[in-house]
Copies of this chain bind each other. A is one copy, B any other.
Amino acid sequence: MANVLKGACIFGQSGGPTAVINASAYGVFRTALDRPEITRVLGAKNGITGVLHDRMYDMGEEDAQELNRLLYTPAAELGSCRYKLADPETDDSDYRRLLEIFRKYDVRYFFYNGGNDSMDTCAKISRYMQKAGYECRVMGVPKTIDNDLWGCDHCPGYGSAAKYITVSCMEVAKDTSVYDTGMVTVIEIMGRHAGWLAGAAGLATKFGSGPDLIYLPEVDFDMERFLADVDRVYAEKKKVFVAVSEGIRYADGTFVSARGPSLADGFGHVQLGGLATTLAHTVKAHNGAKVRGIELSLLQRAAAHLASQTDIDEAFLVGKTAVECAVAGETDKMVGLVRETNGGAYRCTTELVPLSNVANQERKVPRSWINEAGNQVTDAFIDYVLPLIQGEPKLPLECSLPRYARLKKVFAK
């Protein structure tokens, strides 16, 4: 078996926040702090930029109970970044700096939590360290509400966002149906490249109170067909509830949001109002209906108060597994989630996926999980997403409000 490798570890968070990203951090920290092979646990401030600037927290200084509360604390508690490392062939200055820092703290384990770009960062660092002859095990920990990461049945962060979207859509459907007058409501949901999040709104419909029409980026958007869809539902029930993915685009590839009206405000052209408002106003101009646009905005990725316990458990699991596998000798892998389908009941395990297979690939919603008309998801989508939103966490509260982790954040010397 692999040799025992002793040394410090670094964990960093990258990309957009999720409701459960800190559960993965806790999975890494708790496991690493308990392993004798790992001599010191460092948390990079603002991802890889914190390593480059030698700004890292000593996680061994934290109180155990506060660390545990990371399970229920949304957004990246260590801070995140959107820094993309250069190709080491053209510019290796960042990599030389990383090697310097790794040597300074005797770092032998590097764990990085993020999406496609972060897995690319992991792969590049791993290759560089190997070339430099510096032994270091590098593991990717998946995270993205977008759920478009290759090599996973689903991604930690997605289930909680899906739950928030579903519950919010159920409430919006209730709210917008109280008056006896016609109304078209358009809700905009995140997902620039794939429709996983918008499709989750179909759960609300399945459970009796959700969007009549859902549009995903996987199907070309056609404004005429959209308006005809709205007219048809309006004629039938006077209320139309539409969910759209922010990433919907026309057949020529341009985003629908990009063609929205823009505003000359004296400071140059500024786009005001998102896709939901744009579509709502297009409907109003078309048929004169009363309209309302709603943007779920960043609330959908930060709503720890509606987190799925399944998602929390799995986010913890990928962090924990990354540490255990690295200690056991693995490197250059991402911890993927696998759905076991034996017997019907949902069960989820992990598998290791080579980083090079994951980086810069996107996973889309299968066309067959969207109905033929391209305006609603099918039962196959519902069956996929329903297990991921299950379970209510016992949230730590203080005066009936969320009690987030309060870390000391002592910088490592």
Contacts and interface: CB of A to CB of B under 8 A. Distances in A.
Given A294-B297, A389-B400, A399-B386, A80 B179 contact: yes
A180 B272 contact: no
A401 B167 contact: yes
Contacts of A266: 285
Nearest to A297: B294
Interface stretch (A133-141, A245-253, A300-308, A328-336): A300-308
Contacts of A178: 13, 17, 75-76, 79-80
The residue among A46, A277, A284, A386 with the most chain B CB atoms within 10 A of its own CB is A277
B272 A175 contact: no
Contacts of A170: 401-402, 404
Contacts of A82: 179
A167 B305 contact: yes
A203 interface: yes
Interface string A29-49: 000000000000000011001
A49 B181 CA distance: 12
A400 B404 contact: no
Interface string A381-393: 0000010011110
B272 A171 contact: no
Given A172-B302, A400-B163, A401-B167, A272 B281 contact: yes
A176 interface: yes
A399 B390 contact: yes
A295 B306 CA distance: 19
Contact of A299 (B75, B168, B265): B168
Interface in A192-209: 203-204, 207-209
B281 A277 contact: no
A146 B79 CA distance: 36
A380 interface: no
A398 interface: yes
Contacts of A127: none
Given A298-B294, A304-B171, A391-B400, A277 B272 contact: yes
A79 B386 contact: no
A302 B176 CA distance: 10
A177 B75 contact: yes
Contacts of A281: 265, 267, 270, 272
Given A179-B82, A281-B265, A298-B294, A167 B402 contact: yes
Nearest to A180: B46
B386 A390 contact: no
A81 interface: yes
A174 interface: yes
A180 B75 contact: no
B295 A295 contact: yes
Contact of A303 (B171, B389, B400): B171
A303 B294 CA distance: 14
Contacts of A386: 399
A389 B401 contact: yes
A75 B399 contact: no
A1 interface: no
A73 interface: yes
A136 B330 CA distance: 80
Contacts of A292: 297-298
A140 B115 CA distance: 55
A74 B171 contact: yes
Interface string A138-179: 000000000000000000000000010011101110111111
B174 A404 contact: yes
Given A74-B171, A163-B401, 8 more contacts: A75-B171, A170-B402, A171-B299, A204-B401, A265-B285, A267-B281, A386-B399, A389-B401
5 interchain residue pairs of minimum CB distance:
A272-B273, A273-B273, A75-B174, A175-B302, A171-B302
